[in-house]
Chains A and B, each alone.
Chain A
Amino acid sequence: MSGRARWEKGAYGLGNGLSPAGDEEIAVELVGVRRNFGQFQAVRDVSFQLGNSQFLTLLGASGSGKSTTLMMIAGFLEPSAGEIFLAGRRANGLEPHKRNLGVVFQNYALFPHMTVFDNLAFPLRTRGFDRNTVNKRVGSALELVHLGEFTNRMPIQLSGGQQQRIALARALIYDPPVLLMDEPLGALDRRLRVQLQLEIKRIQRERRVSVIYVTHDQDEALTMSDRIAVMDRGRVVQIGHPEDIYDRPETEFVAAFVGDMNFFRIVDRRIVDGTKYAVTEDLLAIRRPEVADQENQSSNLAVLRPERILIGPTVEPTSKSDDKTQTLTGVIEDIIYTGESRRYVVRVGPRLIVVKRQSEDVAGRFARGDHVSISWRVTDVRWLP
């Protein structure tokens, strides 16, 4: 066990009290991190903190800089500027093999010339564990991912999902405090992806490991994360709880990237009969909340989730008197059935508005060409800068 002891106390000294006491709660911190490739700014001024046992997802399209950020945390890439702290200790310039992080790669990177056992044993042998410990640990790691009988297989003999599980087990077997995952489920089909999402969450909770997870899949991000950092062109544009990201997007990019959205571009503001309206470019009048806040005063973009809109038979415009909702009438132009939900494309004047209802919502079954009224709560409209 001397190897283990040396590992924990020795030259690497992660989390050994060198850092201020308050930082012990912070597993990873980035401060103003940048990375340029020649003229191209892949990562611009990224800062965030990851608490212990937290699950943070970097969500963004390809080229948004999320993988580059991860590679810098892992130490495969040096930041052009800024600082990276691991357990409160500055990690800039620290070589990857001295960072004691677990990394799961997009295509698993299982060593093709080693058996499953040797793959799992690799980090343990590197750390000088004795044979018994290696055997025991590999055994329990395989149990963790339910692949106990695959010890002597070669990676190529495993399915994609099995390879992914082995890669996960390999990254966790030496108990790294932080696990970095780079689109780990990208190569798998949807069913397997959902299954493994749950499994990764289970293991993360059991092992109380901090995770930074990179994905371009918003569902994956929403399902798994404690916090999501949405990245766009090298910047973190919004960071927060999944519900914050979904319900309270702060920028047009976030609103468009996560989930479906109706966008209304505001060109004017009017007050008619004491009711405040915003006029869109296609001349719809969207009601503003009675209580004026800073945002909707200056905003030039209103967004509304399709599932926040109710749809029903046409009603007389008298019901307008309800000051908490807004109702419009229109004609159903198209219906898109996706199994669990129906999407109605409703034409209101020159404008198409998408409404999404659960399929079992019998009340809302209409056909193309039907005249309908659509309504939403005034507070469900988000006003973006």
Chain B
Amino acid sequence: MMAVEVSRPIRFPQIRNRLRRPTVNIILLIAAPFITFCLLFGYPVARLFLLSVDAPHFTLRHYISFFGADGYLPVLIRTVTISGIVTLCCLLLGYPIAYLLSSVRARVRALLLCLVFLPYLTSFLVRSYAWIVLLDDRGVVNSILRWLGLINQPLELIYNSTSVYIGMVQILLPYMILPLFAVMSAIDRRTVLAGQSMGAGSLRSFLCIFLPSTLNGVKSGCLLVFLLALGFYVTPAMLGGLRDVTLSMLIQTQVNQLADWGPASAASMLLLGATILGMLLVSKKSSGAVMLVIGGANTQSIGERKMNNEVDWPASSIAEQKGRGVAGAWDSLPEPSRLKSFLRNPPLFNGKVTAATFTVGLAGVALLFLLLPTLVVVPLSFGSADYLQFPPTALSLRWYQNFFSNRSWLEAATLSLWIATATVIIATAVGTLASLALAKMVGSARSLLYGLFVAPLVVPAIVIGVALFQPFAQINIIGSPAAIIAGHTIGAIPYVVIIVSALLETVSDNYERAAQSMGAGPWRVFVKVTLPLIAPGVVGGAVFAFIHSFDELVITMFVAGINSQTLPLKMWEDIRNQIDPTIAAVSSLLMLIPIVCLVIFQLIHQTPQLSHKQ
């Protein structure tokens, strides 16, 4: 299953997943998702590929000119460099946070997890915008510095590479934390205690036992962040200067402003190639951990399940016999001493500031960095001045009034709501069908189809947007709600597939078998047993699909034309044109969405008997 495992002993072939599976039913189940993907993903991408190789002449001239003297090699290098540095920063900040998350008591962990999920679920656009608010010439940071009398002229904090780095690290950090956390919480800490009992010092047992067992998580997290950074568009475009053009910005310019499809298609294919390469690089195991990011709501229970499953954990089963007493003592240790037992005081701190405090401190700062910048937008949205003012001299609701009385804002919001609703319905239905079919399949066919269905998650949105543009233009639906819904659906299905599949894995086949043995036919089994059991996953998938659609900007940019304006699209254009505090008000309103979602997840989580494997 979910591959947070370190190693697995050889076993007899399992009967599980090998129950009777009528092939006809699988074909029926898989047909709709498969056709959807061929039409909205496979075909457009294939077409883009043909364009890039100059079909029907089949030359490499677009690639050659891309790498040529006047080409865009520097852009490629810059993009890769930025992605690499961002990945590294995320790892350095994310590791202590994940470590903290996996070390604290369950109650504290739930709270901290919420603090990670809140920004994770918050709109990219809102979070990038928050950095403008913070770093702008008249932004929060400059205002504070001026108020302190440290500067007279505003510092140039924004529209340069520094702001791109800061923004991207903050936005991609959750993608690093969650796989790391998933892997760390699955580690049986008694193995570390075992190491210490055998005489390894704290530092040594951390370096030799704990760290190596998290490498899978490190690998997944780094890869995920790197791939997302590679194709990232919103943040670099918003926070970067003229000299910080990345590959995705280049593609956007080529298509939207120059209508120059050759280089754009070649650049898209390079991005796609990098993504596919990355996906192949991660073993199946750690890609499971990548997927956990999305099913993050389930990470905790999966980790706990692994903990209890001694069979999968040879190391733990050794400790199992004598470890119970130790484990109890472990849980009753106060938190800092638990941390101390991993990192003994480095000489640097001279024994006064302990390593534990250092770790907690670093994790705390990283958490604040993750959380606070976005929240700054909220107080500013209540300002009364004509521009964003910090601190606001007077409070007012005028920007909220402005939002609710402005026709173009309301139209954009309504359109987004309709599109999100349609997307949720289609994506949830198609994704659930796909998951049900996948659960009945085994072997390479399953892996291949699973890979296909979740691919839009890691394939840069800009590539999908560019790919969809031409086919949609050809059948003349650019700008129609149908085009936007199609673009959103393709990106939303992976969330549903991942979450429902993860839940299906935890639902024992024996429930279905038991129902069958009692005489229930396939339809009755599905309606009375399977569906109620996977309902939390379906709801979770629907929530993610909604968030995705409500936040989707890049694909929309290509397929929405000039007449249809979704909420993110309107925000995007307004942000680029003026710093109108209405955007702060909209952003604050959008921040309510993840809070509502977390409440929904909490409700799902409170019916734990539904997701427990027998």
Contacts and interface: CB of A to CB of B under 8 A. Distances in A.
Interface of A: 7, 37-38, 40, 42, 62-63, 67-68, 71, 74-78, 95-103, 105-109, 111-113, 122-123, 126-127, 154-156, 170-171, 174, 180
Interface stretch (B76-84, B404-412, B509-517, B544-552): B509-517
A123 B15 contact: no
A349 to B, nearest CB: 36
Interface in B512-571: 513-521, 524-525, 528-529, 532-533
A127 to B, nearest CB: 6
A105 B532 contact: no
B610 interface: yes
A172 to B, nearest CB: 11
Nearest to A39: B13
A198 B610 CA distance: 32
A155 B12 contact: no
B18 A74 contact: no
Q: Interface size bucket, B side?
A: 20 to 34
A76 B12 contact: no
Contacts of A68: 15
Contacts of A113: 532-533, 609-610
A113 B15 CA distance: 25
Given A76-B20, A95-B20, A37 B13 contact: yes
7 contacts: A38-B13, A76-B516, A97-B520, A102-B517, A102-B518, A112-B533, A113-B532
Contacts of B520: 97, 122-123, 126
Given A68-B15, A126-B520, A107 B511 contact: no
The 4 closest A-B pairs by CB, nearest first: A123-B518, A107-B614, A103-B517, A109-B510
A100 B19 contact: no
Contact of B513 (A40, A78, A109): A109
Most buried by B among A101, A105, A112: A112
A158 to B, nearest CB: 11
A113 B529 CA distance: 8
Most buried by A among B18, B19, B513, B517: B517
B513 A96 contact: yes
Contacts of A102: 517-518
Nearest to B532: A113
B508 interface: yes
Contact of A67 (B15, B511, B521, B610): B15
B15 A107 contact: no
Nearest to B607: A113
Contacts of B15: 67-68, 71, 77
Contacts of A156: 609
Given A77-B20, A78-B20, A123 B12 contact: no
B514 A109 contact: yes
Contacts of A40: 12-13
B612 interface: yes
A96 B609 contact: no
Nearest to B613: A107
Nearest to B611: A112
Contacts of B533: 111-113
B97 to A, nearest CB: 33
A49 to B, nearest CB: 22
Given A76-B20, A78-B20, A112-B609, A107 B516 contact: no
Given A112-B609, A112-B612, A37 B519 contact: no
B609 A103 contact: no
A75 B510 contact: no
Most buried by A among B18, B524, B612: B18
Given A62-B12, A76-B19, A122-B518, A107 B510 contact: yes
B191 to A, nearest CB: 25
A155 to B, nearest CB: 7
Interface string B4-39: 000000001101001110000000000000000000
Contact of B519 (A67, A112, A126): A126
B609 A75 contact: no
A122 B517 contact: no
Contacts of A38: 13
Given A107-B508, A107-B614, A113-B610, A96 B517 contact: yes
Contacts of B532: 113
A103 B519 CA distance: 11
A292 to B, nearest CB: 43
B549 to A, nearest CB: 29
Contacts of B519: 7, 97-98, 100, 123, 126-127, 174
A107 B525 CA distance: 19
A171 B508 CA distance: 18
Nearest to B14: A37
Contacts of A99: 517
B531 to A, nearest CB: 10
A102 B517 CA distance: 6
A97 B516 contact: yes
A74 B519 CA distance: 11
Contacts of B528: 122
Nearest to A155: B609
A102 B515 CA distance: 10
